[in-house]
A and B are shown apart, each in its own frame.
Chain A
């Protein structure tokens, strides 16, 4: 990313950052749900894969923006983090933990309801791949997304 794009990301208003976080979090489940629905159609396998990847693009783009926004602060790579940065980082990690807990509890509850309703769950390599991808993509990105979510708009320069 060039400098202009980078500084534009740094100054993204909170409302836009929050919209990006929502897209980033919802994008993957939507793509997976679409994939599951498309599997039952007569569409060509490669076309389904192409559609799935196309649906993943906004997620990947927003994840990248979220990562770029928090880069250096969430991973502590910035040479000098002041007390506000450190407090914000702590809040972002705490919120990530809450979000992750809520997602895991919801997923467990949904699975439990699904299984106790007499359904069976088939867990093969394909299903595992989808879960693994979620873990690989979201676990490292969650604190960055949460930082982008909680930080207020930057004050105008003076």
Chain B
């Protein structure tokens, strides 16, 4: 990845662990090399839009739940975050 390229943060490792998938199993489902999964998880490689969409489709999640330009908060924090108070 060129140094000038902006880092894309992702939750791939968490999602993969949640589903009990190894890098190899996930890579086989996506039709890529298993090392590429490691590079994406580590932030050393930004996937193409096509691959990112395929990953989102595979996990049945919106793409923004997996990839973000900002550092991602833990999933549990997002799930259990208190909703903002409703205006009266």
Residues of A within 8 A of B32 (CB): 82-84
Q: Are A84 and B39 in contact (CB under 8 A)?
A: yes
Say yes or no for A101: interface residue by CB 8 A criterion.
Answer: no
Residues of B within 8 A of A155 (CB): 35, 38-39, 41-42, 44
Q: Are A82 and B41 in contact (CB under 8 A)?
A: no
Q: Are B36 and A82 in contact (CB under 8 A)?
A: yes
- Could you list some 15 contacts between A and B, CB below 8 A? A82-B31, A82-B33, A83-B36, A83-B51, A84-B45, A152-B1, A154-B38, A155-B35, A155-B39, A155-B41, A156-B38, A157-B23, A157-B38, A158-B22, A158-B38
Among A83, A85, A154, A158, the residue within 8 A (CB) of B47 is: A83
Say yes or no for A80: interface residue by CB 8 A criterion.
Answer: yes
A-B complex: 6 closest residue pairs judged by Cβ atoms: A155-B38, A82-B32, A84-B36, A152-B44, A82-B33, A84-B45
Q: Are A80 and B33 in contact (CB under 8 A)?
A: yes
Residue-by-residue, is B15-54 near A (CB-CB < 8 Å gives 1, otherwise 0)?
0000000110000000111011011011011011001000
Supposing A158-B22, A158-B23 touch, asked if A85 and B38 sit within 8 A by C-beta, the answer is no
Residues of B within 8 A of A158 (CB): 13, 22-23, 38
Closest to A10 in B: B35
**Min CB–CB distance A72 → chain B (angstroms):** 11
Residues of B within 8 A of A80 (CB): 31, 33
Closest to A154 in B: B35
* Residue with the highest number of chain A CB atoms closer than 10 Å, among B31, B35, B41: B35
- In chain A, positions 141-158 with a C-beta closer than 8 Å to chain B are 152, 154-158
In the complex, given contacts A80-B33, A82-B32, A91-B2, what are 16 additional A-B residue pairs having Cβ atoms less than 8 angstroms apart? Answer: A80-B31, A82-B31, A83-B32, A83-B36, A83-B48, A84-B36, A84-B45, A152-B39, A154-B38, A155-B41, A155-B42, A155-B44, A156-B38, A157-B38, A158-B13, A158-B23
Cα distance A63–B41 in the bound complex, in angstroms? 31
Cα distance A152–B38 in the bound complex, in angstroms? 11
Closest to A156 in B: B38
Cα distance A73–B22 in the bound complex, in angstroms? 24
Cα distance A148–B49 in the bound complex, in angstroms? 26
